[in-house]
Chain A
Amino acid sequence: MASAHDDSHKKWGSWLQHHFQEPVQQFETAKLGMWLFLAQEVLFFSGLFVAYGVYRTAYPEAFEAGSAQLNRIIGGFNTCVLLVSSFTAAMAVRSAQLGKKNQVSLNLVITIVCAFAFLVVKYFEYSEKFEHGLLPGNHFAPHMAEIHNWVEGATGPVTEMPAKTHVFFGIYFCLTGLHGIHVAIGIGVLIWILARNMRGEFSKDYWTPVDIVALYWHLVDLVWIYLFPLLYLI
């Protein structure tokens, strides 16, 4: 009986940790752990989503006016960038399953580049908002000349934003900021996985970390898929 266990550890590489019997057990455990972590992430974001729902209901004009100040084209571009990165992340997993080391690296590099692109675009978006005084809470002091008219069909300059528009920007910066932190962490772990792949740690038999990190990256993508329409489109 003990021999079954020992054989298993001799047969597979050092990547099979001592407390697991079989590679499939280790893989399933890691995957379950990541799914639980993702459940936790969803609830972590939930507080901000609830706050969004509560205050959108309380101050609908403020949210309409605030939302109109966001650039849908830039937001849409960022959405595409993240979707592409999620696709390449999935392709990295597939390549890893097939044991194609170079393709794994290529796909991971594209994912990382997209992630950086997302953050760079976000940086320019944020700076524009800062310059126009569209800041959260107490710091909210919009430069009226720069404000887009949010009323359907109207084009003239705006003299005043609805009360509580600062709450919209508070929620906007917190939601996208928290998401941005997740993107930055994602870049970190993707680079780590890339380095491990270059060192040849993964094979057809062992590609769990690639899969796990891709799962995390899909969640980061998915959060944005909700943020984009909630903040930019409606």
Chain B
Amino acid sequence: MTTQTTTHAAGSTAHGHGEVDYIRENTSPLSWIVTLDHKRLGILYLVSTLTMFMVGGVYALLIRTELLTPGRTIMDPDTYNKVFTLHGAIMVFLFIIPSVPAALGNFFLPIMLGAKDVAFPRLNLMSFYVYVLGAIFALVSIFTNSIDTGWTFYTPYSQTTSTATISMTLAVFILGFSSILTGVNFMATVHKLRAPGLHWKRLPLFVWGIYATAVIQVLATPVLAITLLMLLMEKVLSIGWFDPRLGGDPVLFQHFFWFYSHPAVYIMILPGMAVVNEIIATFSRRKIFGYMFVAMSSVALALLGFLVWGHHMFVAGMSEYATMVFSALTFFVAIPSGVKVFNWVATLYNGSVSFQSPMLYALAFIVLFTIGGLTGLFLGTLSVDVHLHDTYFVVAHFHYVMVGGTVIGFIGGLHYWWPKMTGKMYSEKIARIAFVFIFIGFNMTFLTQFVLGSQGMPRRYYDYLDHFQPLHGFSSVGAYVLGVGFSIMLGMFIYSLFKGEKAPPNPWGSAGFEWATSSPPIMHNFHGTPVIHRGPYDYHLATEAELFDGFPEDLPATAKPAAAKPAAKQAPEPEPAKAAAPAPASREEEE
């Protein structure tokens, strides 16, 4: 990585200039429906997951409204059970799991690798339609009799309830296969489609994160699939593996379920961390501190995730020796998580930090994820867990990691890559206003719930004692503030699509590879095959042109002087040969 040859797309172009971008290549609706292009599929996933996010969000607001006052506020207890189940199932299976990997990952993984597409484009299209089929099954379940088991489908209740468990179980089964196929696709892509010069030590950390996620998707999700199949068979044939009346064991279901669903938590959080790596490097103008440690901590989290499922079942009747082992293993998770947080902070230190909206979300991620992670240690401790299990403390912990972590990371990534995906800039001012609403609203909602939980408020309850009312009320108001924040953000993005300024190729001055193509990218991502000569965070090796003017293929024949740009944005390391001429040279080569 010491080479001074710093061009990405070195070499001539096969297709010439003026190639249309992927949005304008073919605008007919059919071309979107049957597209094999990873960028378009990323957009399709983005639209679908955001739609599901809105549906799940409406359910969240209904829950919080019902909990404003003790007793009945707006709905009866049975409806409430259905609403919190659907909130969980939709958010987990239809939004969070596919959000970053399938939407942002599909769009940026191949571009960051310098590839033209993912390894199996047709499989990619199929994954999307499998997802849609799963979503349809979920809707069928909602509109027939809904479901009230909670998103975990625990037996024996899921065997006896009269609600539409079969269609919802099938929905999750199908969605699992979408996730598996995406994982297979991404792993093969990372292994086989890297551009020349992009060896493993130069991979963007976003790619490392998505890769670690894909490993879990491939190895854990099939266990969920077979578990749900067994649940269905139990319901249809009464086989007796989960039903104690027939000789089965409900705890076996919990083991199976959490063998997937704990790793699934890492399917959800690793991509969030992956996004944050990119944002922090870009807005600190600095190489990520301890790059290899951060990359390996993702892999370590993926592997450790398989060993700790028992910590969901400390009070479910496992042997006490098993609980001790699971508790000890759970604490190991803190190591790679800590590696990440400390390395991010070390990256900020001595970095040239700027606080644009994506960076605000990345910093919020660090704060909120740290709170979420540390409260996880409370729950991993056996004696404390007995007190906190099944209380709002768990709810708050989970939401700090999943919303404060994954969703904030996802939104940060959406802000960060929005100009690249759509070719439009959004209003930075409104983005910051939305951020303030989201950050304050989120903390109002869930910080309160830590207190509620430690005072003994059980989760999932419809009714509660009067003295919890002030805290519940405060939490609900926080949820409304959060809802307002998300609405402002959504409005801002939609507005920018129509009225936003045209985005330059590299609005943030990032050294990342994805900024090396135009905004929005052309159909083949790059003119020709890029050759990589430096890492994605090597600001000291990136040329001024790469960082500030966009990239060679998008520049006019006469190069703009880069000297006019603010010096503060340069990397701190003095690099005497930095401004030497490789970029203009490559430009000439290209003409």
Contacts and interface: CB of A to CB of B under 8 A. Distances in A.
Interface of A: 1-3, 5-6, 17-21, 25, 28-30, 32-33, 36-37, 39-41, 43-48, 50-51, 54-55, 58-59, 136-139, 163-164, 166-167, 170-171, 173-174, 178
A14 B13 CA distance: 22
A54 B249 contact: yes
Interface in B82-120: 115-117, 119-120
A43 B119 contact: no
A32 B123 CA distance: 14
Contacts of A32: 187-188, 191-192
Contacts of B531: 1
Contact of B237 (A2, A18, A138): A138
Contacts of B221: 40
Contacts of A178: 229
Nearest to B115: A19
Interface in B208-244: 218-223, 225-227, 229-230, 233-234, 237-241
A36 B240 CA distance: 32
Given A1-B528, A59-B247, A137-B239, A174 B184 contact: no
B222 A170 contact: no
Contacts of B239: 136-137, 166-167, 170-171, 174
Contacts of B233: 136, 170, 174
Nearest to B110: A19
Given A163-B247, A167-B247, A51 B230 contact: yes
A36 B188 contact: yes
Contact of B223 (A46, A58, A59, A137): A46
Contacts of B356: none
B117 A19 contact: yes
A87 to B, nearest CB: 28
B14 to A, nearest CB: 4
A136 B237 contact: yes
A147 B13 CA distance: 76
B567 interface: no
B116 A19 contact: yes
A21 B530 CA distance: 12
Contact of A1 (B11, B180, B230, B249): B11
A138 B531 CA distance: 64
Contact of A137 (B192, B225, B240, B528): B240
Nearest to B242: A51
Q: Nearest 7 CB-CB pairs, A to B?
A: A170-B239, A47-B226, A138-B238, A44-B222, A19-B116, A2-B14, A1-B11
B222 A1 contact: no
Given A58-B247, A166-B240, 9 more contacts: A1-B531, A25-B193, A36-B218, A51-B230, A55-B247, A137-B238, A137-B239, A166-B239, A166-B246
A44 B193 contact: no
Which of the four size classes fits the interface of chain B?
35 or more
A167 B248 contact: yes
Interface of chain A, helix or strand or loop or mixed?
helix
A118 to B, nearest CB: 22
Contacts of B219: 39-40, 43
A29 B237 contact: no
B454 interface: no
A3 B12 CA distance: 9
Contacts of A163: 247
B185 interface: yes
B585 interface: no
Contact of B230 (A5, A17, A40, A174): A174
Given A44-B226, A47-B230, A166-B246, A171 B237 contact: no
A50 to B, nearest CB: 8
B188 A33 contact: yes
Contacts of B527: 2
Nearest to A48: B226
Contact of A164 (B183, B193, B240, B256): B240
A48 B222 CA distance: 12
A108 to B, nearest CB: 22
A40 B249 CA distance: 26
A31 to B, nearest CB: 9
A54 B527 CA distance: 57
Contacts of B240: 137, 164, 166-167, 170
B237 A137 contact: yes
Nearest to A45: B226
Contacts of B120: 29-30, 33
Which of B225, B246, B256, B527 gathers most chain A CB within 10 Å? Answer: B246
Contacts of B191: 29, 32
A219 to B, nearest CB: 13
A201 B233 CA distance: 41
A216 to B, nearest CB: 13
B493 to A, nearest CB: 30
26 contacts: A1-B10, A3-B14, A5-B528, A18-B116, A18-B117, A19-B116, A25-B192, A29-B191, A32-B192, A33-B119, A39-B218, A40-B180, A40-B184, A40-B221, A44-B225, A47-B256, A54-B249, A55-B241, A136-B239, A137-B237, A137-B246, A164-B246, A166-B239, A166-B247, A171-B241, A174-B239
A139 B14 CA distance: 67
Given A39-B219, A51-B230, A167 B188 contact: no
B17 to A, nearest CB: 14
Contacts of A54: 249, 252
A164 B246 CA distance: 7
Contacts of A173: 237
Contacts of B256: 47, 50
B327 interface: no
B121 interface: yes
Contacts of B115: 19
B226 A1 contact: no
B124 to A, nearest CB: 11
B529 interface: yes
A166 B239 CA distance: 7
A51 B183 CA distance: 26
